[in-house]
Amino acid sequence: MTTPLSLRLDHQIEALPRAYPGPGGAVAVLRDGEVLVRHAWGFANAERRISFTPRSLFRMCSITKQFTCATVLDAFPDPSDLDDDVAARLPLLESAAPGALHLAHNQSGLRDYWAVAMLHGSPAEAPFGDAEAARVIAGTRTLQFAPGTRYSYCNQNFRILSDIVQDRTGRGFAHHLRERIFDPAGMETAFLAADTRALPDGTEGYEGDPLKGFRPAENRILWTGDAGLGACLDDMIAWERFINHGRDDPDHIYNRLSTPVAFEGGAPAPYGFGLGRGTAFGRPMTGHGGALRGWRSHRLYVPDERVSVVVMFNHLSDAHGAAMDLLAATLNVERPGRVVVPQPPWLGAYREAETGLSARIDAAAGGRVRLRFGHSAELLDLQADGSAGTDGTRLRARPDGLWMDRPHENHRVRLTPLGAPETRDVDGRYRCAELGAEVEVADVGGVLYGGFSGFLGQGRMETLDAVGPDVWALPCPRALDHTPPGDWTLAFRRDRSHRIVGLTVGCWLARGLVYDRVG
């Protein structure tokens, strides 16, 4: 029998391939454990003409993190028992090491190793395996912030956790996933797909767009507990049913993953145990997205409605947006529109004192402004009161200046405006003692370029963008991970003679690295 709900979902399913174009995809919607939608379209491998089906294997990427934390909680009910193991993997750290719970909640203070890899000169398509990961992690000497005080996304938090489980038990992490999580949940074909070069059934990930065309994406990373999950749509349906089955059991693993988390000082944290906590259309929600070059996915669960949504694209369309479209149709709500208001007077370039990063704000279409501060540009909706923001970031002008509030990161700060760039005498070679890596700034025909080099190779030279006096941005348009870490802020420092003697390099995922001039 056709119902209003089924009609709304049918309409969304029909619209998805055009709204989020690419080679193929698969989606599922469940309510009270009942499958309302189980649908796939297009090609898992367009060259070999392999159709995308609910049984096609898929790289779930960072959705892996909740499964890693579930395995840790099952094997070690008190994760703090692993704190010494975490410290042992950071032998050069000059301060107290974060604990296992700090890692599970992305509150460790560690710099993300995919970002740091770019500082070591890694080309975007370079191989990155166990040896490279161990060297980057073990070389850590300083943290971005005191553990527990801030949130910052950090992939190796979960790689470290999965490695510890493996080493402490003497059995492979893939075995633990199968025995502790996949088998109890009925995820028959899920597995640890650590090698990103290929999936056994031929499913391919693609990059590109409808205008330029799509091509197979090249990945040569070895993922583990941070992003190694391989699963099909039916596996993820089994996971959502497993969640629904244990919804009233406080000891059920998903309820333990969803337990409230706080920062030091008691402020609630919107991320814990590999799950984001938030709201959707006024309802509490948990979930996580996943992305690797060629792959985008998102899953969410609204406990009050007993609704789950899973979206899997083997291309780079907005899986989160598609998931929200499906959720809106299921709940019979409208996605809110934007109110168009005039552009504010506070557009411009700023620097944020705590991190040392630049914050560049310019106008965007549709009643928005663009903020370049985090690991990707954010489009913030302008509000009638003169502020701009989304659920994650808000900019607000006050009598004492422009304030930026990022509550999900426990971070609120006043931005310092930057004046016009004054000089260009920053070319030279600079070395970071902590990383054993270098950055070169070259003046070529009156244009400044910058590039990183280190034990992973020699990165390409990119055109620098002047931000303010002695502050430049070095773009990072491609990286090992799907999402580049964002533009690097290069903040140069001078001695009393006004000569450039060094700089501090940072992005949101890897801040505050000091370089001294060596040439």
Pairing mode, strands 213-216 and 229-231: unpaired
pTM value is: 0.94
For residue 374, the enclosing domain spans 348-417
Residue 340 clears pLDDT 50, i.e. is over it: yes
Are 210 and 229 in the same domain?
yes
| Cβ–Cβ under 8 Å, residues 387 and 397 | yes
Least Cα distance to 150 among 447, 515, 502, 508 occurs for: 508
Are 234 and 304 in the same domain?
yes
CATH number at residue 485: 2.40.128.50
Q: So what's the pLDDT on residue 198? A: 87
Query: Can you tell me the mean pLDDT for 379-397?
Result: 92
Least Cα distance to 35 among 19, 54, 62 occurs for: 54
Place of tokens 């990961």: 133
Least Cα distance to 213 among 51, 23, 47 occurs for: 23
Q: So what's the pLDDT on residue 92? A: 98
Are 177 and 51 in the same domain?
yes
Are 318 and 394 in the same domain?
no
Tens of pLDDT, residues 356-387: 999 999 999 888 999 999 888 999 999 989 99
Is residue 146 situated within a structural domain? no
Is residue 180 situated within a structural domain? yes
> Left (φ > 0), alpha (ψ -120 to 50) or beta: where does 49 sit?
left
Catalytic residue among 6, 51, 56, 65: 65
75 CA to centre of own chain: 26
User: In the chain, what percentage of residues exceed pLDDT 70?
Assistant: 99
Catalytic residue among 6, 51, 56, 62: 62
Are 319 and 466 in the same domain?
no
Q: Where a domain ends, among 304, 331, 358?
A: 331
Is residue 160 situated within a structural domain? no
Tens of pLDDT, residues 106-152: 999 999 999 999 999 999 889 999 999 999 999 999 999 999 999 99
Are 278 and 403 in the same domain?
no
d(CA 301, CA 308): 4
d(CA 501, CA 470): 12
| CA distances for 109 relative to 112, 147, 498, 509, angstroms | 9, 5, 33, 10
Are 232 and 270 in the same domain?
yes
| Cβ–Cβ under 8 Å, residues 139 and 436 | yes
DSSP output for 326-391: HHHHHHT-PPP-----PPPTT-EEEEETTT--EEEEEEETTTEEEEE-SSS-EEEEE-TTS-EE-S
Active site residue 65: yes
CATH number at residue 191: 3.40.710.10
Are 400 and 464 in the same domain?
no
Is residue 155 situated within a structural domain? no
Tens of pLDDT, residues 455-480: 999 999 999 999 999 999 999 988 98
The number of folded domains in the chain is 3
| Cβ–Cβ under 8 Å, residues 253 and 73 | yes
| Residue 6 tokens, joined | 């089924």
Is residue 388 situated within a structural domain? yes
Q: So what's the pLDDT on residue 56? A: 98
pLDDT-derived band at 159, boundaries 50, 70, 90? very high
Are 369 and 321 in the same domain?
no
Is residue 194 situated within a structural domain? yes
pLDDT-derived band at 518, boundaries 50, 70, 90? very high
| CA distances for 411 relative to 150, 269, 414, 491, angstroms | 7, 11, 10, 21
Are 464 and 497 in the same domain?
yes
Is residue 228 situated within a structural domain? yes
Q: Where a domain ends, among 395, 417, 439?
A: 417
Query: Can you tell me the mean pLDDT for 154-158?
Result: 97
Tens of pLDDT, residues 255-281: 999 999 999 999 999 999 999 999 999
Is residue 507 situated within a structural domain? yes
pLDDT-derived band at 341, boundaries 50, 70, 90? confident
| Cβ–Cβ under 8 Å, residues 395 and 403 | yes
27 CA to centre of own chain: 21
pLDDT-derived band at 426, boundaries 50, 70, 90? very high
Q: So what's the pLDDT on residue 186? A: 98
Q: So what's the pLDDT on residue 338? A: 64
Are 502 and 384 in the same domain?
no
| Residue 86 tokens, joined | 């975490």
pLDDT-derived band at 1, boundaries 50, 70, 90? very low
Are 187 and 312 in the same domain?
yes
User: In the chain, what percentage of residues exceed pLDDT 90?
Assistant: 91
Query: Can you tell me the mean pLDDT for 274-299?
Result: 96
Task: Kindly state the DSSP code that residue 81 receives in the 8-state scheme.
Answer: G
